[in-house]
Chains A and B, each alone.
Chain A
Amino acid sequence: MRVAFLGATKGMGRALARLMAERGDSICLLGRRLDDLERSATDLEVRGAAGTVPCVSCDLEQPEGFVRAIDEARDALGGLDAVVVTAGLFATQEELESDPQLAERLARVDFASTLVFCEAAKKALLEEGGGTLCVFSSVAGERGRKPVIIYGAAKAGLTRYLEGLDHKHRADGLRVVTVKPGFVKTSMTAGLEPPPFAGEPDDVARRVLRAIDRGSPVVYAPAPWRFIMAVIRALPRAVMRRVQF
């Protein structure tokens, strides 16, 4: 599989990219800091990625560079079978409430910019005759919840966009995989108290890779979050107002 990967240097993205490398996929890394990408590239090469792992500079906050970055990745890989997006911003509700600029930035990056990036990826994949677009959203987008109001709103928008994309293009061979991680122990969540059913990045990566291979439209990870969210989605508003999650 030839994969363009935005966000492979950290957390769940790093774990997923390593699994892909270990089974011999061809990977091209997209990201903001080229020196950091190069370090991850070597790591993936030693782990078994096919050939050399090319790096292409791409900043999620600069949408004007998206089309060029994806074209470069496609050229470097000699084609494209999948695009994975795990990059995004995270901040706690408290931080976002106290800093409107941060809130604006997070909403822009996690929703608008990611959407524009996916549009470019979609176009490239359709030109290739189809493929898989795998994007990390979040369980935070399932319901308006007190600890993740702003982050959740951005992810809710992203989830709906991805759903629509999947409906429209599945017949054309473009499979959109929306990943909804629950609480996963990564550097992003370091310092937060892990709730029950908190997951490890490696377990999430294994589930996501299976979903990519099968083309499952939605994957919750770790697995119990599928049921947790089913319950939370079913809770009446009167209850949601009272609970703290």
Chain B
Amino acid sequence: MSEPPLSTLSGWGRHSAEGREHLGENLERLSAEANLSRGLGRSYGDSSLPAPDLPDVLNTTLGDRILRFDEGSGLFRAESGFSLSELNRLLMARGYFTPVSPGTKFVTLGGMVAADVHGKNQHKDGNFGHHVTSLKMRVADGRVVECSQEQHPDLFRATIGGMGLTGHVLEVEFGLRRIPSQWIWQESRRIHDIDEFQDALEEAAPEWPYTMGWIDGLARGKHMGRGILMTGRWAEPSEAPRQRPKKRFRPRLRFDWPEWILNGLTIRIFNELYYRKQWRLRSSGVVSHESFYYPLDAIRSWNRMYGRRGFTQYQCVLPREAGRGSARRVLEVLTKHGGASFLCVIKDFGRESRGVLSFPRPGITLALDIAVRDDTQTLVDALNEQVLQEGGRIYLAKDSFTRREHFEAMEGARLEEFRAIRDRWDPRRRFRSAQSVRLLGD
């Protein structure tokens, strides 16, 4: 087998690094040589990019076979390159859905474990990792082991949300949910400022399985944090249209947009229109699961909108203890730095994570899409300092700008535990990524 050539690998935010991508069906064989696994490349920052001195990454996307599906219990097992879009395509019509879905379906099971992804139901159902029952892994000493709550629980907990730094995830087993239809009963509500948002999310949490909010990131003063709260639940067959949702036409962005297209003014116009769309205080209706869960999947390569330099998503969680007003203080930092966030999302978290380094914890999360410009580093630094003061932390799957000292200050004891587990399983640090070099000092 010939060695693959060096090529440029990049994350969804267009951050890139040179690497050798090993592609093949046999993940067990290929994982023996590689230092990091990579799936569909939808993590925004540098978590799926190789460390500078270890270019060999395993692309898992051809390892995508279903290995088990129990219709009664919903227990499902597949190779780690199996994608959520394939799962939806095959099993939704039969009434099954993933217990936790991120905002895109173009992710692999391996990536969902590594980032311990969360979705609109985090406040009720937690992260994807809460539903994983077992993982098959290639670990640093060359063994292939099965891990779970009972078997090698330390490896299991560190791998969930461990950004691929504990070894190669080869197979993932988890429980699917039954759903009554492929449609969502959605209710949306206009929100006038950020504090109202925080309250509204908390009020909606016990009532609705799915909640999230869109924020106009440019509104200031008394309108700061205005937006739309979206809540939903699966529609019962009696409420839903008889037919399946239609397959959508999915246009593709064919070129990188010039940087001037997304500026303060165009984003302001877009946000104003989007906010005005919700002209009624409340509205409700049945929508397809695709438009509810994956609105951005409607446009292929939408990341090209941010131009050649790409973008970063700044996502943080502010713990409950930080209280009402924490989200306002973070948005104020964004505003003060003149940061124009094109897409701004807010959501409450209700469940503590299972993974040692997983991101979610009870509190409120903000996700800000920011085009990379000359001052992005300064902006991220300022946001991180505010998040530190609130006692919060950031989401590694989105990050490419955080400094090591900020990360260490946020993670403290959790990072110590993660290091201790890595010392046991990978003392020589065979598994590293560009991100682990940057943030963990590997």
- Which residues of chain A have a CB within 8 Å of any CB of chain B? 9-11, 14, 22, 39-40, 42-43, 46-47, 92, 95, 186-187, 190-191, 193
Interface residues of B in 3-39 (CB under 8 A from A): 3-5, 22-25
Contact A47 B3 (CB under 8 A): no
Q: Which residues of chain A are within 8 angstroms of B4 by Cβ–Cβ distance? A: 190-191
Q: Which residues of chain A are within 8 angstroms of B62 by Cβ–Cβ distance? A: 186-187
Indicate whether B265 reaches chain A with its CB closer than 8 angstroms: no
CB contact between A187 and one of B3, B24, B68 (< 8 Å): that residue = B24
Contact B25 A42 (CB under 8 A): no
| Other 15 A-B pairs with CB < 8 A, given A42-B67, A187-B23 | A9-B25, A22-B90, A39-B65, A43-B65, A43-B66, A43-B67, A46-B90, A187-B24, A187-B25, A187-B62, A190-B22, A190-B23, A190-B24, A191-B2, A191-B5
State the CA gap A11–B64 with chains docked (Å).
11
Indicate whether B69 reaches chain A with its CB closer than 8 angstroms: yes
Q: Which residues of chain B are within 8 angstroms of A92 by Cβ–Cβ distance? A: 2
Contact B25 A14 (CB under 8 A): yes
Q: Digitize B33-73: 1 where CB-to-A-CB distance is under 8 Å, 0 elsewhere.
A: 00000000000000000000000000000100111110000
State the CA gap A95–B2 with chains docked (Å).
9
A40-B2 contact, Cβ under 8 Å, with A14-B25, A187-B23, A190-B24: no
Shortest Cβ gap from B43 to chain A (Å) = 22
State the CA gap A59–B23 with chains docked (Å).
24
CB contact between B3 and one of A9, A22, A191 (< 8 Å): that residue = A191
Shortest Cβ gap from B346 to chain A (Å) = 38
Shortest Cβ gap from A91 to chain B (Å) = 9
State the CA gap A242–B67 with chains docked (Å).
50
A10-B25 contact, Cβ under 8 Å, with A95-B2, A190-B4, A191-B2: yes
State the CA gap A22–B25 with chains docked (Å).
20
Q: Which residues of chain B are within 8 angstroms of A43 by Cβ–Cβ distance? A: 65-67
Shortest Cβ gap from A87 to chain B (Å) = 13
Q: Which residues of chain A are within 8 angstroms of B68 by Cβ–Cβ distance? A: 42
CB contact between B69 and one of A39, A46, A191, A193 (< 8 Å): that residue = A46
Q: Which residues of chain B are within 8 angstroms of A46 by Cβ–Cβ distance? A: 66, 69, 90
Shortest Cβ gap from B64 to chain A (Å) = 8
29 pairs, A vs B, C-beta closer than 8 Å = A9-B25, A11-B25, A14-B25, A22-B90, A39-B65, A39-B67, A40-B65, A42-B65, A42-B66, A42-B67, A42-B68, A43-B65, A43-B66, A43-B67, A46-B66, A46-B69, A47-B66, A47-B90, A92-B2, A95-B2, A186-B62, A187-B23, A187-B24, A187-B25, A190-B4, A190-B22, A191-B3, A191-B4, A193-B5
Shortest Cβ gap from B62 to chain A (Å) = 6
State the CA gap A222–B65 with chains docked (Å).
24
State the CA gap A10–B24 with chains docked (Å).
9
State the CA gap A191–B68 with chains docked (Å).
31
Shortest Cβ gap from A38 to chain B (Å) = 9
Task: Return the chain B residue nearest A193 by Cβ.
Answer: B5
Interface residues of B in 76-127 (CB under 8 A from A): 90
Shortest Cβ gap from B32 to chain A (Å) = 16
Shortest Cβ gap from B80 to chain A (Å) = 13
Shortest Cβ gap from B25 to chain A (Å) = 5
Task: Return the chain A residue nearest B30 by Cβ.
Answer: A187
State the CA gap A9–B62 with chains docked (Å).
11
State the CA gap A10–B5 with chains docked (Å).
22
Q: Which residues of chain B are within 8 angstroms of A186 by Cβ–Cβ distance? A: 62
State the CA gap A43–B67 with chains docked (Å).
6
Q: Which residues of chain A are within 8 angstroms of B23 by Cβ–Cβ distance? A: 187, 190-191
Most A CB contacts (10 A, CB to CB) among B4, B25, B67 go to B25
Q: Which residues of chain B are within 8 angstroms of A10 by Cβ–Cβ distance? A: 25
Task: Return the chain B residue nearest A14 by Cβ.
Answer: B25
State the CA gap A47–B236 with chains docked (Å).
26
What 5 A-B pairs have minimum CB-CB distances, sorted nearest first?
A: A43-B65, A190-B23, A191-B4, A187-B24, A46-B66
Q: Which residues of chain A are within 8 angstroms of B67 by Cβ–Cβ distance? A: 39, 42-43
Task: Return the chain A residue nearest B4 by Cβ.
Answer: A191
Task: Return the chain B residue nearest A36 by Cβ.
Answer: B26
Interface residues of B in 329-372 (CB under 8 A from A): none
State the CA gap A190–B23 with chains docked (Å).
6
State the CA gap A75–B24 with chains docked (Å).
33
Q: Which residues of chain B are within 8 angstroms of A42 by Cβ–Cβ distance? A: 65-68
